[in-house]
Structure 1
Amino acid sequence: MDTPEHPMNDDLLGKYLAGEADAAESERVRQWLGEDKVYQQEFDRFEQIWEAAGQLNREAPVDTDAAWLTIKSRMAATSSPAPTTQDPTVPAPRQAAPPPPLSPVESNPTEEANIRPLLSRGATPWRTYWRAAAMIALVCTLGWLAFQKYLNKPEPAAVAIQSVTTTNQKQERTLPDGTKVTLNRGSRLSFPQEFSGDSREVTLSGEAFFEVTPDPARPFRIRAKGTTVQVLGTSFSVRAYDENVKVAVRTGKVKFTAKQKEVTLVKNETAAFDAAGDTIRKLPKLDANLFAYKTGQLVFKDERLSDVVRTLNEVYQADIHLSNPGLQNCRLTVRFDNQSLDYVLTVTAETLGLRVRREGTRTVLEGDGCAQ
């Protein structure tokens, strides 16, 4: 093998890459790189192996020197020619000169472990072959370790979701954190079997009254028809049978959010989200009857009959109508405590001199009307 003007070995390159070479050694490496583009290409491959080995050692310690020597010994064993028998009386056929040895000091195993000359001018590319083999082995090892790490990575535990659905009867439920929920008729509440992480979150369709267990470190959130109600500890009602969501606060403080809009509500305040107008607005006063499905109390003080019917439809999930517009302005003052809808309709009709007519699930209040 021809010896380059500035011989190079891997140990010096390793010091250079590690930033441990002195000024003279660094200059020697730079001169060597400037002699031939082949040296620069070989150096680039060596640098890739160096960086990959460093990454591998951070993931899982590996004896790269031992791996390097193992690859060299296997390559040397593969390239060694098999012995042949030749008749001394027969002239040997002309053969091409054997390729130069992989290292000029292979006869000295001690020096071989310390000096590994890179490809020089005019040398055959065997060194390139085992360098490529070393890189392939290293890349395969890295890939295998990454694959094993991926396989052994624990999958996140699936969170069990529970649901409570009501039809014609309201239902009370205590959530895993102690929060008490009263679910009105025709409603559905979904929640995890256990609250984990830094928040507590449930999903509501319909209407429910929440008495939230205080936990400042984990805010409580209700997702309802594209809106969010967030609290720390309070009692309030959320109505979300359709896209127009209403929130009424009985105690404490909540934040009501829809898209980019947000309002803060405190005790005895109410806000409604209008989906068509994409607006949230606070209502002028709290209607105590919003909590009737929770408290069982309905109180009407000189209320217009049209407003009474609307409240009864909301509280009882009913389908009540007035037979003519003249009945809308009839005024009603009455109180009901945990009474059935039939009882409420009977008392209302008798108080205002009306009649109750049933049409399947539809109920009609009939009469002559009231003066404005």
Structure 2
Amino acid sequence: MDKPEQPMNDDLLGKYLAGEANAAESERVRQWLGEDEVYQQEFDKFERIWETAGQVNREAPVDTDAAWLKMKSRMTATSTPASTAQAPTVPAPATPPPPFPSVETPPTDETIVRPLSGRGATPWRTYWRAAAMIALVCTLGWLAFQKYLNKPEAEVVAIQSVKTTNQKQERTLPDGTKVTLNRGSRLSFPQAFASDSREVTLSGEAFFEVTPDPARPFRIKAQGTTVQVLGTSFSVRAYDENVKVAVRTGKVEFTAKKKAVTLVKNETAAFDAAEDTIRKLPKLDVNLFSYKTGRLEFKNDRLSDVVQTLNDVYQADVQLANPGLQNCLLTVTFDDESLDHVLNVTAETLGLRVRREGSRAIFEGKGCAQ
């Protein structure tokens, strides 16, 4: 495939971040990012501004299209010595804007493609563009803060946050929903839910037992994905951008950008960030709920899969001394056992040894036939 041109159109970057770019457009952006480290750095800045503006917009709806055009006209005016630029103004809140201001193309016969940065970019134009976007975000933030200050006292809702380190924790939310938060996780939620919805933010892993309320859907925001339910029990794993959802009872909708799947009892799906897609997994792994149930079940499972499960469940560092151990098969059940006990029983069952290197545990022994 031919390499894309070095300049990159701002509109295409906006479509890519919004999840609206087609396969060809997405591939063009990815190839462009791979051409030069400078491009990736500028894109990261662009993405952070995008996300910040999106968060502000949810609190204080502003006509960001008009605001951006004001900023852009100031940039143009400043670049002409004879021109006199006026301070940008932001119009009063109107209809809710899109998540991030789109950049309109001047009415000409040809689309103008501007370099974001790096080779071929004009330094002063890059600096003015960055300054304009920062000024826009600050303006929106100020408007959001003013709106917050002017809210009636009853509308100001405090946000609570629960964080775990080496121990899991159980918490009951304001609506009665029960949450089991796994190790190394964080859950943020309002002190009181809104009258028409219930929304929380998760980083890490948690098991939810949602109190039914058809009038107020329950939503979990996790690493750019959303899980929505009315009343059910399920697990969400979101330690990084590759998010996994497993349903124990009921039904949920799992979405990421423009993609969505519906899951029912004993179904699992995973979002693959690298491929930007959601896939349903062939079967439910009951060990996904082990941090909630305390039970680990292995039925003729390969030792390589057992090790992966132990690393996930215990946030551990367990490894195999040689590839020949991957195909050893294990059938055993554990109930609320420590990692040391699980390692020792596994090694004894398979005729292996456990060697320690600090916090790392390594299975050693002869390999198993395939």
TM-score, structure 2 as length reference: 0.59
- TM-aligned CA deviation for residue 212 of structure 1: 0.1
CA-to-aligned-CA distance 1:324-371 (integer Å, 9 cap, x gap):
000000000000011111100000000011111111121111111111
Distance 1:193 1:359 in 2: 44
Distance 2:160 2:151 in 1: 24
Which position in structure 2 is the counterpart of 1:327? Answer: 325
Distance 1:359 1:165 in 2: 29
Does 1:289 find its partner at 2:282? no
Matches within 5 A, 1:345-356: 345-356=343-354
Query: One-letter code of the match for 1:253?
Result: K
- Of residues 305, 314, 322, the one that matches 1:316 is 314
Matches within 5 A, 1:180-195: 180-195=178-193
- TM-aligned CA deviation for residue 203 of structure 1: 0.5
Which position in structure 2 is the counterpart of 1:251? Answer: 249
Query: One-letter code of the match for 1:246?
Result: K
Distance 2:216 2:300 in 1: 43
* Secondary structure of 1:168's aligned partner: coil
CA-to-aligned-CA distance 1:135-155 (integer Å, 9 cap, x gap):
xxxxxxxxxxxxxxx9x9655
* Secondary structure of 1:163's aligned partner: strand
CA RMSD, 1 decimal: 1.4
Which position in structure 2 is the counterpart of 1:213? Answer: 211
Larger Rg: 1
* Secondary structure of 2:288's aligned partner: helix
Q: Against the structure 1 CA distance between its residues 218 and 325, is the aligned structure 2 distance closer, same or farther, given a 3 Å change threshold?
A: same
Distance 2:267 2:326 in 1: 27
Which position in structure 2 is the counterpart of 1:231? Answer: 229
Q: Against the structure 1 CA distance between its residues 204 and 154, is the aligned structure 2 distance closer, same or farther, given a 3 Å change threshold?
A: closer
Query: One-letter code of the match for 1:299?
Result: E
Which position in structure 1 is the counterpart of 2:359? Answer: 361
Does 1:343 find its partner at 2:341? yes
Q: Against the structure 1 CA distance between its residues 154 and 310, is the aligned structure 2 distance closer, same or farther, given a 3 Å change threshold?
A: closer
* Secondary structure of 1:333's aligned partner: strand
Distance 2:188 2:343 in 1: 33
Which position in structure 2 is the counterpart of 1:78? Answer: none
Query: One-letter code of the match for 2:199?
Result: E
Which position in structure 2 is the counterpart of 1:125? Answer: none
- TM-aligned CA deviation for residue 196 of structure 1: 1.6
Which position in structure 1 is the counterpart of 2:269? Answer: 271
* Secondary structure of 2:216's aligned partner: coil
Distance 1:173 1:259 in 2: 29
TM-score, structure 1 as length reference: 0.58
Distance 2:317 2:195 in 1: 43
- TM-aligned CA deviation for residue 263 of structure 1: 0.1
- Of residues 198, 201, 214, the one that matches 2:199 is 201
Distance 1:258 1:153 in 2: 34
Which position in structure 1 is the counterpart of 2:140? Answer: none
Identify unmatched segments of 5+ residues in structure 2: 1-146
Structure 1 segments of 4+ aligned residues over 3 angstroms from their partners? 152-157
Identify unmatched segments of 5+ residues in structure 1: 1-149
- TM-aligned CA deviation for residue 307 of structure 1: 0.3
* Secondary structure of 2:196's aligned partner: coil
CA-to-aligned-CA distance 1:151-196 (integer Å, 9 cap, x gap):
x965563321111111111110000000000011111111111112
